[in-house]
Amino acid sequence: QLSPSRTVYSTSTIAFVGVEVVTGLTNFDILGHAMVVHDSTGTRVACGIINPLELVAPALVPYYGYNGHLQVVGSVHVGTTGALDSAKQSLHWILQGVDVRCKDGANMEYASSCGISIYEGRSCNSSALGHYWNTTSHSEDPWSTPGYSSWVSSNSFLPPPNFPPLPMPQAPLPLMPPPPDKGLSA
């Protein structure tokens, strides 16, 4: 049992299921792009690159130039549904070491507060640039609202009571060799 006054950054854990963001981007479009985690003030604190084989940012590192106390670890899984202008990303994540001030969700005084977003950039060693979406078909930034809520846990990756189970990530389909050439002869 944790006392309400205990704040432990190293063991704050979050998990969230099923955030969908209509971006107008396909799986192919988002491959290799940066996935960024923000603290309660909107500061970029962690970054991972979306892996083309699994559509996951499997490892997070401190965001470029971030020197704060948060040390976010975990992964973000990305799914895509829809086509053309209605294409959307579905994000599922399990993260540890996030900002405990996000326990009530985003602070509307700060842009990107408690946010998790896909960015234009393709590296965690330099600026990730701005939020990434199809600006031709969507004039408003769809990444302005997705965010996480945190809680403090004494057991790493243990969700709070009555939290819905996380979906199991789907394994990537194995690459199949091309069928043998039947070679038609005349």
pTM of the model: 0.70
Per-residue model confidence (pLDDT) at position 148: 76
Asked whether the beta carbons of 94 and 103 are under 8 A apart, the reply is no
Close Cβ partners of 111 (under 8 Å, ≥ 6 residues apart):
42, 144
Tell me the three state secondary structure of residue 85: helix
Min mean pLDDT across 138-142, 144-148, 177-181 is at 177-181
Whether the predicted pLDDT of 62 surpasses 90: yes
Tokens of 157: 């990756």
